[in-house]
Amino acid sequence: MTYLAVENADESCRQIAELCGVIIEEPFNVPSVGRMAILQDSTGAVFGLGTPEKEQGGCGRYS
């Protein structure tokens, strides 16, 4: 599955729902990774998005 990095998973989900996308899995926390969600766009494509957890120094990362 394709995952997209976003600055705010919760806000991105809200915007996607307003644009006729479907939230399959509401944003949830993944320890040591960040906040993620699973969605479906208006054409049926399923994808994930996530906000990486911040490390010291302000860099985000996925494990």
What's the pTM value of the predicted model, to 2 decimals? 0.79
Q: How many domains does the chain contain in total?
A: 1
Residue 63 is assigned to a structural domain of this protein? no
* CB-count exposure of residue 43 (10 Å: 0-12, 13-18, 19+): exposed
Q: What average pLDDT does the structure give for the chain?
A: 88
Q: What is the CATH number of the domain that holds 26?
A: 3.10.180.10
Q: Is the pLDDT of residue 63 over 50?
A: no
Q: pLDDT digit string (tens) for 4-60? A: 999 999 999 999 999 999 999 999 999 999 999 999 998 999 999 999 998 644 455
Residue 59 has what pLDDT? Answer: 52
Whole-number pLDDT of residue 12: 96
Does a structural domain hold residue 59? no
Domain that holds residue 12: 3-54
CA distances from residue 56 to 8, 35, 61 in whole angstroms, order as listed: 18, 17, 11
